[in-house]
Each structure stands twice: as structure tokens, then as C-alpha cells.
Amino acid sequence: MLQPDRIYAAKSDETLTNLILKGGVEIPDRFTRITGDEPIMEGPVIVDLGRLDAAIGANHPLGVALANTDDVSVLAPYLARLDVVVLHFPKFTDGRAYSQARILRQQFGYRGEIRATGQVLPDQLAFMHRCGFDAFVLAKGDPVTAWDRAMTTFSRHYQPASDTSVPAFIRRRENAK
Amino acid sequence: MYQYDQIDRNFVDERVAQFRDQIARRLSGELTEEEFRPLRLTNGLYLQLHAYMLRIAIPYGTLNSRQLETLAEIARKYDRGYGHFTTRQNLQLNWIRLDQAGDALADLADADMHALQTSGNCIRNVTADHWAGVAPDEVADPRVYAELIRQWSSLHPEFSYLPRKFKIAVTGSPADRAATRVHDIGLVLKRDDAGQIGFEVIVGGGLGRTPMIGKTIRDFLPEAQLLPYLEAILRVYNLAGRRDNMYKARIKILVHEIGTEEMSRRVEAEFAKNIDSVLANVQDEVARIASYFTKLPYGPSDPNPESYALRRKSDPAFRRWVISNTFPHKIAGYCIAEISLKPTGGIPGDATSAQMIAVAALARQYSHDELRVTHTQNLVLPHVKMSDLPAIYDVLAAQKLDAPNVNKVGDIIACPGLDYCALANARSIPVAQRISERFADVDRAHDLGEVKIKISGCINACGHHHVGHIGLLGVDKNGEEFYQITLGGSEAADATIGTLLGPAISSDQIVDTVEKILTAYADLRQGNERFLDTYRRLGAKPFKERAYAAA
Ligand code: SF4
């Protein structure tokens, strides 16, 4: 999984200092995060929920950042045109964004990127991944090591979630056939 | 009972390996204590006043002889040779070393056990009626659904960082021996008019600082929809439960603030979106789990064998034990035998490793290799032939496990209190010990009948004092230990929060006051009334007068 060339190439490039963990490797983030009332520049941007209407016609690709108190269903009319939804963990013990991600995947069928920001720690990566997150800005630790650990610790899960693993009860049913 | 398959076994082994790695990263400093805390809590490791405590899950209170022996060995190897059975059917070891916790969990995993989710802000170890599968009044066996919930909730990715802890209890009987109405979710098995199995779903009960009786949000939830419905409740709670104040973070506060109707509406709306999820397709899994709980090969048994009848006639101690500690079984000739862990002057719920090993042997020989832990901190041999009672009793007596006091005044629940707990205002265990000594006279205790005394060392209410027939709550008065008294609580199907009787009583006076209250009951009762019945008929007044009368 490790692709050192890409990582080092990205790290050595002054203009691409932001890396995100995606697909098990660190890649440069092509999006620019627009916060507050900063002008919305051209190109790939991530805006706050309040400025989504302003950006939706002009920018592509486009992402939106939600607070963990926002109701994700307000995104319903926009989802087909969104490339990234950023969900936030203000503290790693505040688990609201897990449910936000699952609603996006399970109820709205959203297939774009769901990115975790905030206090994103290695020991919660597996839960995030299973809830539908597929991009991570880690607050601590080596992202690739953390990813490998998160993906290999358990060989099977008990409950279905928003990943592709086959839960125990379905595996048992198949085994019994 | 349920047996692990390879999937279950791999899971607990992988869990142990994960936690060993996390402990190593904590000891190396890679993980801070703040980062490590929720990880160790979901593995049952809790930091107490003096040391780490390991809380081991006994899912829905069911275990086999080998598992109890394993617990005894772990208590010997990593602790001080005894363990403490808790009100949530768990076992606590109070003196565990962090660097040995991984080994203790590995030993547990070898016996198909774990300490998963016995602490922390996650879905806790599920509890159930301790008479499951053997009670004559049972609608359906709650263990099947409790096991289903145990697996579904194990490391649930969405619900491992909830606002607060989350407790689910299941009962298969209208008598409700699982205290479902004081849990975050209570499930009561029932049948609809067509004979289909389903659940009454109760939400938002709980004790602690703000005691509340749970509210029914669904009268009948068909069996197959259980897990999608639980996910709907948990999702509503995870998103809307308060996170600004830990004392207002339980689901009971959410239900209280938005109202039962609104809670029900939100859950039903969420459920409607999930109704087709694969979680609604668990019939095969329910059948697979149920196959482990099929009827045991009970042989014929004489309901009144000569050996038993003779002993009962000739030995008053045996007779009193049978009267208070054995209960009717659904099969004639069998009984349910409860082993009291409340000897006079003892610590409620404690058992030594030697006692556990002796009880495990009894279960192997006389109870189809099966045991239960009750939420009242006792043990149960669930399948006992009447003819085996004398032999069982003799072993129990030799182990000092023969206290004839189940549901009697000496069968007290007490939280760890100031002896162990950093949050306590007052001691709980010594008060329980003194009360049981005061009522050591068995004839007197039997005459007083069913009395449930519950003691908490502070308002967090771990001793469930709100639902004690007599509840005692430790409070601090200028640095002295005092106790508030509540009367009339119940955690059964008629769940009620007790009412404060009056000013707090000093530690010196508290046992006398309990005695005055019970003496008042003995004077005032009519017919076969229990203490609780008399209190409900007469109200607090006569008890208050007697309790606070000058000596
Ligand atoms: S009720 Fe209070 S004193 Fe007792 S165990 Fe709970 S927190 Fe500790």
C-alpha cells in the first residue's frame, strides 16, 4: 500500500503542503479550504455550509464542510454535485460525525469523498472507515501506519455498516449453505 | 447456552492483541492518558481510588462452570483471590496491574469471555432476566435476543463514542426481573394476537442523579425489526443527546427534554429510513443462536423425593434455605436455586476464588454445567433436581454460601462507596454489613418477608437506592457520613422511584432507623402484605413518625 515516491514528492513540493490520507496513502489535497468570509477563489474549494449556494454554480470540483451539529439532510439537493463532504470531530470522544457519515452513505447514497477533520486519531480510524469516511486529516501519528493497523486488526465485524465487509451473521449464513 | 464459533473466537483474540498493542503504546508514551482512557474503558479497565479495576462481562448473566473457574483463576493470578459480582451481572476485580491487564484478557478469551464494553460511553454489556429459559412465566427466552444484541453492539463503529454510557436490558417475562424500566433501553418480550414474538420498547429509564422510569415508545415491535429499531434509537441519541454536561448526557434527559411523543416520532422516522437494512434480515442468525438455548435434556425428577422431604423435616436450617433461596422451575421436579452472596456481615456480591470453584463444581454436577449472575449480586444454579438439594446445600454451607436470605432484609445491594470509589460521600459496604448483622436472626428476617434495601455512596446511585423498597443514599454533612432514606421504590414491572422520607440520618443512627421502619411495618401490615405493599397502602406518614421518633 505504501507509495513512498508520491508521498515524498508531495512533501518536497512547497505548494502542496497539505496531505490527506486516502486509499491507504498520503496524497496532496487538491482542495483549498475557504473559511469565514474569505473570497471564494477559482478551482477546487471546500466552503462552509452557509456559502454552498454561492459556490455551487461557479466552482467545480466542490466540497462542503459541516459542523457536527448540522443536519446532513440539508445537503440532499446538492449531493449529486458535491465531491467532498468534510465532517468534523471537535474532540475524538465526540462521535456525532459517525452518524452523519452513515446517514450520507446509507440514506442518501452519497458516493463522493467524506473527509474526517479535527481530532482524528489513529485508534478511531477503523470506526470512521466503517461509517463511510474515506479521507482523513490525521491530528497525530503516522497516517500510513495507522491505516494499516486499522485495516488489519479485525478479520471480521459483527454488524453491517457503510464499508464493504461482510458481517459475521451473513458469513455464517453463507457458510451454512 | 451459547457457544463461540471460530468467528467469535477470532474476534476476542484479535481484541486482546489490539489492546496489548494499545497498552504498549500507552506505556511508551505514544498514547496520552487522555487518548488511552476510552480505549481502556471499552476493555473494562477503570481507574479507581487505589488501583485499576477490571470489569469482566458476563453477557446476560449466563456462564458455564469452566468460565466461572477461569474467573476464579484470574482473580487468584492477577488479583487478591476474590471478585465482586455487580448489579449489571459483571465481575469486578479491584486490584489489577496495567501491565498484566492484557494477560488477564487473554486468559478470559481462552474461556470465550471478554471485558468488552463494560465501561465507557458505548453500548454496555447487555443484561437479561437471570431466570431466562427456566422461569414458569416466561413468554420467550431473552438470552437469544441478548446474544444478538451483544454481537451487534460489539465495537459498533457508529456507537462507540456516544454522549454517555448506554445500557440495554431484556426480559422474557411480564414480572420483569431485569429492571427494564430503569435502563436506557428496556425490552420486554411479548406475543401479539397472532402469537408472533416481539418487544415492548421502553426508552429513557435510568437512576443516577436524575432518576426516571422509562417510557414505552413502541407497544409491539416485531422480532425481526429489533436491530434496525435499536440503530434508529441510538442514532437519534448519538446526534441529539447532550454533550455539554455529563450529568445531562444520558438518553433519559433527551427523552425528558423533548418529550416521549417527540422521541417516538424521531425514532420512528429514522427507523422508517432503515427498515430495509440487512439488519432486518437476521432470522437465520436468531435461529442459529436459539439452537444453543433449546430445552436441556431434563430427566424425570420427583417433585418431593424422600431424601429431600426427610431433610426438610429434620433440619430447620435447610428448610429455611429452601424456602427463601429456591424458586419454581418450569419443569416439575426441578427448581431454581439462588446462592446468596450476602452472608451476615459480609461484603455484598463478593466471592472468593475457592467459593467460585466450589460453585462451578456444583453447577457441573447438578445444574447442566450452567450458572447465572443476578443483578442483585447473587449466583443461580438454574436447573436443580429437588433430590439434589441436600447435597448442594451441604457444599454451600461448607463454603459459607448458605445465607437463607434471598429477597430478605439481608439481601442488600451496596455500591463500592468510600471504601473504593473516588466519588463517594460515604461508605456503603459497612452500612450493609451492620444492617445484615442487626437482622441476623433468620426467623425474624423471614417474618419480615421481602424487603429490598439498596445503598449508594453518592448521588450517582450505583447502588440503585431510588428503586430500593428502602433506599439509603450517602451524603456529606460537614465532613460526616449521613444517609438519606427513600421508601417505596421498585425496579420490577411496577417500577417506582422511592420518596425521600425526611432529614438525613447519621451513620451511628442509620441501622436503628432502618429497624424502626421495619418494626413499624411489622406492626402495621395486613395479611400477607410485603413491606412495599404496606408502604403503598399507608404512605410515608406512619413510617416517618416512627423513624424520627425519639428513642
Ligand atoms: S454511587 Fe457514588 S460512591 Fe457509589 S460507586 Fe457510584 S459513584 Fe461511587
> Are residues B103 and B41 part of one domain?
yes
Whether residue B405 lies inside any domain: the answer is no
Tell me, yes or no, whether B266 and B364 share the same domain.
Answer: no
Q: How far apart are the CA of B417 and the centre of ligand 1, in A?
A: 5
B99 in the same domain as B59: yes
Cα B245 to chain centroid distance, Å, stands at 26
Distance from CA of A159 to the nearest CA of B (A): 5
Which one, of A94, A92, A156, lies nearest residue A124 by Cα?
Answer: A92
With respect to residue A149, please indicate whether it lies within any of the assigned structural domains. yes
Q: Count CB pairs under 8 A between chains A and B.
A: 106
Asked if residue A1 has pLDDT above 60, the reply is no
- Report if residue B407 sits inside a domain: no
To 5 degrees, how large is the angle CA B196–CA B237–CA B494?
Answer: 55
**Is 60 exceeded by the pLDDT of residue A97?**
yes
Asked if residue B300 is part of any domain, the answer here is no
pLDDT tens digits for range A98-113: 999 999 999 999 999 9
Torsions phi, psi for A80 (to 5 deg) = -60, -25
Nearest CA in chain B to A142: B30
- Interface check for A139 against chain B (CB to CB < 8 A): the answer is no
Using DSSP bridges, classify how beta strands B91-96 and B52-56 pair: parallel, antiparallel or unpaired. antiparallel
pLDDT of amino acid A3: 40
d(C-alpha B9, C-alpha B298), whole Å: 29
Is there a contact between A170 and B235 if contact means CB atoms under 8 Å apart? no
Work out the burial of residue B211: count CB atoms within 10 Å of its CB; fewer than 13 is exposed, 13-18 middle, 19 or more buried: buried
What distance in Å separates the CA atoms of residue B277 and residue B491, rounded to the nearest whole number? 34
User: Are residues B326 and B242 located together in one domain of the fold?
Assistant: no
Claim to verify: residue B288 and residue B165 sit in the same structural domain: yes
pLDDT at A137 over 90: yes
Let me know if residue B320 belongs to a domain: yes
Domain coverage including residue A75: 6-176
Q: Decide if A158 and B31 are in contact by the 8 Å CB cutoff.
A: no
A41 pLDDT band, cuts 50/70/90, is confident
* pLDDT > 90 fraction of chain A, expressed in percent and rounded: 80
- A126: CATH: 3.20.20
Name the nearest CA neighbour of B384 among B456, B298, B455, B451. B298
Is B156 within 8 Å of B116 (Cβ atoms)? no
Chain centroid to CA B153: 19
Count structural domains, chain B: 4
Whether residue A51 is predicted with pLDDT greater than 80 in this model: the reply is yes
- A32 belongs to a structural domain: yes
Q: Do both B177 and B235 map to the same domain?
A: yes
CB-CB contact of B454 with B497 (8 Å): no
Cβ within 8 Å, pair A124-B7: no
Same domain for B377 and B238: no
Question: Is B138 in the same domain as B250?
Answer: yes
Residue with cell 424456602: B323
The Cα angle at residue B55 between residues B49 and B59, in degrees rounded to 5: 155
Residue B106 belongs to some domain of the structure: yes
pLDDT value at residue A42: 87
Ligand 1 atom nearest B421 alpha carbon: 8
Task: Look at residues A57, A61, A1 and name the one whose alpha carbon lies nearest to residue A25.
Answer: A1
Dihedral over Cα of B116, B121, B123, B128: its sign: positive
Q: Considering only alpha carbons, which residue of chain B is nearest residue A67?
A: B239
Evaluate the CA torsion angle B379, B385, B390, B391 in order and state its sign: negative
Are residues B157 and B284 located together in one domain of the fold? yes
Pick the last residue of a domain from B110, B136, B164: B110
> What stretch of H or E contains B235?
helix B226-240
Q: How much is the pLDDT for A4?
A: 38
Chain A closest CA to B199's CA: distance in Å?
Answer: 21
Q: Residues of chain B whose C-beta is under 8 A from some C-beta in A?
A: 5, 7-8, 10-11, 14-15, 17-18, 21-22, 30-31, 35, 38-39, 121, 151-162, 235, 238-239, 243, 273-274, 277-279, 282, 284-285, 288
CATH number at residue B44: 3.90.480.20
Mean pLDDT per segment of 10 residues, for chain B of length 551 residues? 96 96 95 96 88 93 97 96 92 91 95 95 96 95 97 98 98 94 97 96 95 96 96 98 96 97 98 87 95 89 94 97 97 97 96 98 97 96 97 98 98 92 93 97 97 97 96 96 98 94 97 98 97 98 94 61
pLDDT score for A17: 64
Whether B116 maps to a domain, the answer reads no
Would you call the peptide bond into B305 cis, given omega within 30 degrees of 0 as the criterion?
no
User: Which residue, of B110, B135, B156, is where some domain finishes?
Assistant: B110
Specify the number of domains making up chain A: 1
The rounded Cα A80 to chain-centroid distance in angstroms is: 17
Asked if residues B488 and B496 have their Cβ atoms less than 8 Å apart, the reply is: yes
A1 located within any domain: no
Query: Is the minimum CB–CB distance between A177 and chain B shorter than 8 Å?
Result: no
DSSP B271: H
CA distances from A153 to A25, B21, B160, B431 (A): 18, 10, 17, 47
Question: Is residue A112 situated within a structural domain?
Answer: yes
Supply the range of the domain harboring residue B361.
305-398
The ipTM (two decimal places) reads 0.94
What CATH number is given to the structural domain containing B460?
3.30.413.10
Instruction: Quickly state the pLDDT bin for A12 (edges 50, 70, 90).
Output: very low
The pLDDT value given to residue B275? 76
Q: Residue type at B101?
A: A
With respect to residue A163, please indicate whether it lies within any of the assigned structural domains: yes
Q: How far apart are CA B484 and CA B501, in angstroms?
A: 8
Whether B330 is covered by a domain: the verdict is: yes
Comparing CA positions, the residue from B461, B478, B351 lying closest to residue B69 is: B351
Residue A9 has pLDDT above 80, yes or no: no
Q: Which residues does chain A have within 8 Å of residue B147's beta carbon, measured at their own beta carbons? A: none
Structure confidence at residue A6 as a pLDDT band (50, 70, 90):
very low
Last residue of a domain, one of B264, B293, B322: B293
User: Same domain for B316 and B288?
Assistant: no
Question: Can you give the pLDDT at residue A7?
Answer: 38
Q: Are B435 and B390 within one domain? A: no
| Close Cβ partners of B84 (under 8 Å, ≥ 6 residues apart) | B91, B92, B93, B94, B347, B349, B350, B351, B416
Q: B459 or A60, which is more confident?
A: B459
Cα separation, B200 vs B187, in Å, equals: 6
Q: Are residues B87 and B154 in the same domain?
A: no
Helix intervals (H) in A18-132 = 52-56, 96-102, 125-131
The pLDDT value given to residue B101: 92
Which residues of chain B lie closer than 8 angstroms to A98, CB-CB?
157-161, 238
B248 neighbors B255 (Cβ within 8 angstroms): no
Are A92 and B161 within 8 A, CB to CB? yes
CB B275 within 8 A of CB B232: no
Top residue of B13, B32, B161 to mutate, by most chain A CBs within 10 Å, is B161
